[in-house]
Amino acid sequence: MLSGKQIVLIISGGIAAYKSLDLIRRLKERGARVIPIMTAGAQEFITPLAVGALSAETVFTSLFDRQAEHDVGHIRLARDHDMIVVAPATANLMAKMAHGIADDLATAVLLATDKPVLAAPAMNPKMWQNPATLRNFEQLKERGIRFVGPSSGEMAEKGEAGTGRMSEPLEIVAAAKAVLRDEDIRQNRLPLAGKHVVITSGPTHEPIDPVRYIANRSSGKQGHALAAAAYEAGARVTLVSGPVELPDPDNVDVVQVESAAEMLRAVEAALPADIAIMAAAVADWRVASEGAQKIKKDGNGKPPVLSLVENPDILATVGHHERLRPKLLIGFAAETQNLIDNARSKLKRKKADWIIANDVSPETGIMGGDANTVRLVSGTGVEDWPQMDKTEVAREIIARAADALKKYR
């Protein structure tokens, strides 16, 4: 979503400007180009040298800089990019934006732009609550300016707390993605716009007693990457995830569950969906009766016997739904032997459209690793895919799913 995008970052004069240095890194890490503009106030808090070093770009500071006007000009600066992020947006800068004042480079660019603008306000809580600021805020929102934050908490000034803190860099990154995606949807560039995709991810934990459980080695990386890819393709995404160590993908509805039974309930509650992808490694069995108390050693060296019962099969349940079966239903098959035969029988038994089969023998390093080698098994045949990063596998699956969905239109 951010890869290859050009983002003009306007930094105005507030103490939160120090967080903008990290924001530059976060945006660049995700493949965006960041073109910085600093107001005079911003330069009291952080230096153009630091901003230039982190962005690896010329830092624009003045409306009447002959060199800069010669090279790009403030009008081009206002046009040749994908979006503007204003972080921090001070009360003063918001007031100027609301009133169309253009007395420096930052405000002139904001007045001249025809691209989406995202602002991250940062100011003292009293300034934020001032009716003048709140009116400017409402007015800017009405004009289509997007906002992230401010959040509440301790302020830089001692003893001051309330609403006015700038959002954290990663929250601003998530909001920037949402703005760019909305623009892509508006321009009809995303194949899954208006579609709902439900994805399961991670392992399940099946309780034995209050402190113990049965689990597996699934990391959730493939399922989470699918959720991010579906979001980037324009879909509304519900991710039903077992316990994982991963951050939630940005702008996705995440439902956290532990057991297979909970996962099934959450998936059914999330339907209807256009596409469902069951990437979770659901435990096949759970303990027949979960101990209400911690199971103790009996002192005779005799271990307890755990009797297991089969878990509901979520993929099969959804596949056999009469009314709510998604148009496209995709399952995974993690196997250590007879990969294709097993995948084919799952395709039939669970009424899935595709099975993404992968060999998870320990020597492949797939379980928990970053790469995946998969085969797409469908009613029409088997396709071998080369080894790819799990993110690339996810994008490819989503692109293929979006194509397949066109048939149902």
**Stretch 339-358 residues interacting with ligand C5P (CB under 6 A):** 346
Q: Are 9 and 35 in contact (CB under 8 A)?
A: yes
**Stretch 303-322 residues interacting with ligand C5P (CB under 6 A):** 311, 313-315
Shortest Cβ distance from residue 279 to ligand C5P (Å)? Answer: 6
What's the burial of 329, exposed, middle or buried (CB within 10 Å: 0-12/13-18/19+)?
A: buried
Shortest Cβ distance from residue 263 to ligand C5P (Å)? Answer: 8
Distances in Å between the Cα of 273 and the Cα atoms of 25, 198, 269, 354, 377 are 36, 6, 10, 16, 22
Size of the site for ligand C5P (CB under 6 A): 14
Q: Which of 124, 216, 311, 358 is catalytic?
A: 216
3-state secondary structure of 298: coil
Place of tokens 């084919």: 344
**216 among known catalytic residues:** yes
117 forms part of the interface with ligand C5P (CB under 6 A): no
Binding mask 175-214 toward ligand C5P (x if CB under 6 A, else -) reads -------------------------x--------------
Minimal CA–CA distance to 263: which of 296, 299, 220? 220
Cα gap 2→25, rounded to integer Å: 13
Cα gap 10→145, rounded to integer Å: 14
The one-letter code for the residue type at 323 is R
Q: Are 42 and 12 in contact (CB under 8 A)?
A: yes
Instruction: Report the residue number, 14 or 319, with the smaller CB distance to ligand C5P.
Output: 319
Instruction: Report the residue number, 6 or 336, with the smaller CB distance to ligand C5P.
Output: 336
Tokens of 107: 């405000």
Residue of the chain from 34, 78, 174, 282 that contacts ligand C5P (CB under 6 A): 282
331 forms part of the interface with ligand C5P (CB under 6 A): yes
C-alpha torsion sign, points 324, 259, 287, 334: positive
Shortest Cβ distance from residue 384 to ligand C5P (Å)? Answer: 19
**Stretch 234-263 residues interacting with ligand C5P (CB under 6 A):** 260
Residue of the chain from 16, 85, 120, 333 that contacts ligand C5P (CB under 6 A): 333
Chain positions contacting ligand C5P, by CB under 6 A: 200, 260, 278, 280, 282, 284, 311, 313-315, 331-333, 346
Residues with active-site annotation: 216
